[in-house]
Structure 1
Amino acid sequence: MQRPYTIIVSEVTVDGKLTLRRGRSSKEIMQFMDDEANRYLHELRAKVDGIMVGAETIRTDNPFLTVRYVEGKNPTRIVPTSKADIPLDANILEKHAPTIIVTSESAPEEKVKALKEKVEVIISGKDQVDLIEMMDTLYRKGIKTLMVEGGSTLNWNLIKFGLVDEIRLIHMPFIVGGEDTPTLVGGEGFYSLNDVVKTKLRAHFMRGSHLITEWEIKFEG
């Protein structure tokens, strides 16, 4: 299998949260990012071939996923969603940039048909999106570098299958708390130290008033 070089990029609070509460938009936290931090984020967008978020992020945040704070080409927007559950008025379905929706054979036919009238749709997997097959397909479509902006469930699934090469974090200087508040990586988690994904700090620096940390995934063997 070939796959894109994949970088998870996210803003996180001091306690690792992505939002104020489950179901709340991450834009509430991101509004406190200063211009330098926003430029850092959009510089990365301008350098990659594709940018990916989960369907819940589309439903909650309704992002454009375009390059705005710097000059550069918009990456292809990619959303894996097993049931093709994307609002038809979502911003990513507009013509600002190319968009690919990846869904499964179990998605309702009428939803798939409606999305195909707006953007490219790829079927990958039977009951849910086969992420490994998806990544291979994206690579063959020219997506050699991929930036993932969450959410926490998508981050977990990509990490679980060993599909992530780097994690870059923009640290937000406040604490949110909350047992059910989404963190950088959600899902069921690993239960053993033998299974956890190890990382290596490659760089840390300030952009404006924000600490940026860049981590490499240490693949075993």
Structure 2
Amino acid sequence: MPRPYVLLSAAVSLDGCLDDIGPERLLLSGPEDFDQVDEERAASDAILVGAGTLRADRPRLLVNSAERRARREEAGRPAYPLKVAVSGSGDLSPGDPFWTTGGERLLYTTDKGAEVAGARLGGSADVRALGPAVDWAALLDDLGARGVRRLMVEGGARVHTQLLQLGFADELRLAVAPLVVGEPDAPRLFGPGAYPGGPRGRMAVLSTQRLGDVVVVRYAPTVPGTTDAATAADRHWLRIACELAAGCPPSKTAFSVGAVIVGADGSELARGRSREGGDPVVHAEEAAFAKLAADDPRLAAATVYSSLEPCARRASRPRPCARLIVDAGVRRVVTAWREPDTFVPGADGIGLLAGAGVVVAEVPELAKEAVRPNRHLVPPRSGQE
């Protein structure tokens, strides 16, 4: 099984601090950011924290929104993501809210730590020993085997540092607060050491967003051996398109597709999915374009991310999605999966786009994600399974 997509999430001050050295927790974020974090949790299969965060913050790691929990259950998922803790010693308090509130709980520890945790926690958690030390590769492999496809990591600094240094982080979400802590001993997000890309390796900025007085910046870490920042951004937005596809109302007569339109500055302009709004024939790209003005000047420099190759022919609308893209003036499309012959034999949306001068990039490594909500419609060889 593949390892999960790893999202590191944290709130920091302008000088990179997670907290000050005072007795009370420094509040860096606000209600708008808290709500988006809750949305990120709802979209995740598991949420992970280290022992230091458990002891200092005593987090519950729950999805607070009843509506989001209901959506998870409607999709056949548990109301809460799996809660994962990592502790080398296993010396954790059984009274912490992490262990006493909702959701399944899993602890990764060492061989020696497993003995301690068994005595301390009793049956409040599934305890998995990773050997004489915490092996992050084995941990991620085990989560993947458990069906975890998206892992949200909420701390602490040591966990974030190790995952980034080892090259296991796929995305970094930072909520930057407009204040400077200024204390030399205050805890900082990342510690010293070697990081992928070296000291001159620059991360790709995926998006920026203002939430109250906090600015949320998303980064893709440097991939060793590559210098193309756009590749990281493409993978990020195409994953979102695939997640949208997974949330489509199921159908036996049409594919489930997600689409995101992204501006030249990396900001999301619009998104859509198949059968959005109860329309049984609306396509993902069509739904996304409907949320923008036809003469929006940002479209000329935008990129359309679609989990499935945009359609070249359709009976339900006058214009197929590939033609919508061309007519909108978009010059770049990124997709994960070519349309099979299930409904429209010989369809060639990529050919239509390329013939009109649109640059099309394919990311076949994400084809399985695009196919997953459509497995009932395609044979295994077409589904890249």
Q: TM-score, normalised by structure 1?
A: 0.89
Deviation at 1:195, TM superposition (A): 6.1
Distance in 2 between residues matched to 1:67 and 1:7, nearest whole Å:
16
Report deviation, 1:160. 1.6
| Contact kept? 1:190, 1:196, Cα under 8 Å | no
Query: Residues 143-154 of structure 1: matches in 2 within 5 Å?
Result: 143-154=148-159
Which structure is larger by alpha-carbon Rg, 1 or 2?
A: 2
Tell me the residue number matched to 2:68: 71
Aligned-partner Cα distance in 1 for 2:154–2:175? 12
Partner of 1:208: 212
Residue 125 (structure 2) pairs with residue 119 (structure 1): yes
Q: Aligned partners of 2:101 and 2:200: how far apart in 1?
A: 40
CA distance in 2, matches of 1:37, 1:88: 29
> What is the CA deviation profile of residues 62-118 of structure 1, one whole-angstrom value per residue up to 9, with x for unaligned ones?
010111156233211111111102111111111411110101112262432432411
Could you tell which deviates more after superposition, 52-61 or 202-211?
A: 202-211
Report the AA paired with residue 71 of structure 1.
R
CA contact (8 A) 2:114 2:127 kept: no
Hey, what does 2:363 align to over in structure 1? none
- Partners of 1:132 and 1:161 within 8 A in 2: no
Amino acid at match of 1:29: L
Is residue 59 from structure 1 mapped to residue 65 from structure 2 by the alignment?
A: no
Counterpart residue type for residue 173 of structure 1 = P
Distance, in Å, in 1 between the alignment partners of 2:129 and 2:196 is 34
**What is the 5 A alignment of 1:1-221?**
2-21=2-21, 27-30=25-28, 33-69=29-65, 71-72=68-69, 73-107=79-113, 109-126=115-132, 128-186=133-191, 188-190=192-194, 194=198, 198-221=202-225
From the superposition, tell whether residues 204 and 191 of structure 1 become closer, same or farther in structure 2 (CA, over 3 Å): closer
* Residues paired across the two proteins, number: 215
TM-score normalised by length of structure 2: 0.52
CA–CA distance in structure 2, aligned partners of residues 185 and 60 of structure 1: 17
Q: What residue identity is the alignment partner of 1:28?
A: L
Higher normalized contact order (CA 8 Å, seq sep 6+, divided by chain length) = 1
Q: Secondary structure of 1:36's partner?
A: helix
Unmatched segments (≥5 aa) in structure 2: 70-78, 226-385
Q: C-alpha separation between the residues in 2 aligned to 1:86 and 1:120?
A: 14
Opposite residue 159 of structure 1, the aligned amino acid is: L
Q: Is the 8 A contact 1:49 1:146 kept in 2?
A: yes
Amino acid aligned to 2:98: I
